[in-house]
Amino acid sequence: MAKLISGVKISAEIKNEIKEEVKELIRVKGVRPGLGVILVGEDPASKVYVANKQKGCEEVGFLSETARMPADSTEEQVLNQIRLYQERDDIHGLLVQLPLPQHINKNKILYAISPDKDVDGFHPVNIGRLVAQQEGFIPATPAGVIEMLKREKIEIKGKNATMVGHSEIVGKPCALLLLNEWATVTICHIETKDLKSHTRDADILVVAVGKPKLISADMVKDEAVVIDIGINRITKDMADEKLLEWRKEDFEKKGSTLVGDVDFQEVESRASAITPVPGGVGPMTIAMLLKNTLQSAKRYAGIR
């Protein structure tokens, strides 16, 4: 059976470390890290993500503010809110929760955020810094994957790593980070022919697609490390007998459950280590966002 890599446990460790650093930063420099979040519209999942970010900030002693804007806000209004946060000395990191309503040009908004407060790491300047291996902000989810591997003392250097998924915010930066750690990286996407031939070759398999059971046991190398970034909500009517039984409690309480892209129950017996969903990469994302915000506040305070 694979070792379970718990994002709940690792993210709690990271948050404790951040909490201590925050106390020190306030004591020595009088600087309390601050995160500004902009939420446009009423998307239910976005509301949950934003609430979790706020909760994370409170846990570690950050200032956190959320600007909640109506769904019909104009691009100019959102840009204005970015400017307001950007000008403030007590806001060291800011982010705009995605997705944005259709009428708003996502790139125009994301590119308006100063790279030095862009704690999501989505600005092209930060993506360039990642490519050039210079100091900058690394998108939280991919950063969380590497942090998990490191804290679990899983060697990356020299390993074959396959990244399934090539989105700007997850797959591509994650592949780059693995490359920066000296893995030999293969990137797969929706047009990849014979996905299995690439996943079977992976010592480290990272999956970020959004399709339940995309990865079955026969697609995984024996003793591979499997990191499942995918998050899929499965309602009772979508679930098979096995899942209904396994997640009985969730279905009874909430009528749905969360699964990743990997067929966990099958793959668990083949892999050497695996992340669960929920409780794997998910909690790491918030921890790494907080880490980015702390890094920004430290830079503001003149600490490198």
Provide the annotated active-site residues. Answer: 53, 97, 120
Stretch that binds ligand NAD, among 74-82, 84-92, 118-126, 279-287 (CB under 6 A): 279-287
Question: Which of residues 32, 47, 189, 200 is near ligand NAD by CB under 6 A?
Answer: 189
In whole angstroms, the minimum distance from the beta carbon of 195 to ligand NAD comes to: 5
User: How many residues lie near ligand NAD (CB under 6 A)?
Assistant: 25
> Please, which residue, 6 or 232, has the CB nearer to ligand NAD?
232
Beta-bridged to residue 94, according to DSSP, are 36, 118
**Minimum distance from CB of 208 to ligand NAD (Å)?**
4
Site for ligand NAD in 200-239 (CB under 6 A): 208-211, 214, 229-232
d(CA 6, CA 185): 24
Taking CB under 6 A as the binding criterion, the range among 30-38, 155-163, 182-190, 262-270 that sits at the site for ligand NAD is: 182-190
Backbone region of residue 221 per phi and psi (left: phi > 0; alpha: psi in -120 to 50; beta: other values) = beta
Does 36 contact ligand NAD by CB under 6 A?
Answer: no
The CA distance from 130 to 30, in Å, is 30
Q: Give the one residue of 91, 96, 169, 243 binding ligand NAD; rule: CB under 6 A.
A: 169
Those residues with Cβ within 8 angstroms of residue 243's Cβ, 6 or more apart along the chain or in another chain: 234, 257, 259
Query: Is residue 114 within a helix (H) or strand (E), and if so which, with residue range?
Result: none
**From 22-30, 57-65, 217-225, 277-285, span contacting ligand NAD (CB under 6 A):** 277-285
Q: What are phi and psi of 96, to 5 degrees?
A: -110, 120
Q: Does 149 bind ligand NAD (CB under 6 A)?
A: no
Q: Does 167 bind ligand NAD (CB under 6 A)?
A: yes
Q: Using CB under 6 A, which of 33, 136, 142, 171 touches ligand NAD?
A: 171
d(CA 136, CA 143): 12
Regarding 91 and contact with ligand NAD (CB under 6 A), the answer is: no
Backbone φ/ψ region at 74: left (φ over 0), alpha (ψ -120 to 50), beta: beta
CB 129 within 8 A of CB 172: no
Q: How far is CA 32 from CA 28, 55, 90, in A?
A: 11, 16, 7
Paired tokens of 46:
């976005």
Q: Distance between CA atoms of 162 and 148, rounded to whole angstroms?
A: 16
* Shortest separation between residue 145's beta carbon and ligand NAD, angstroms: 9
Residues at the site binding ligand NAD, with contacts judged by CB under 6 A: 141, 164-167, 169-171, 188-190, 192, 195, 208-211, 214, 229-232, 281-282, 285
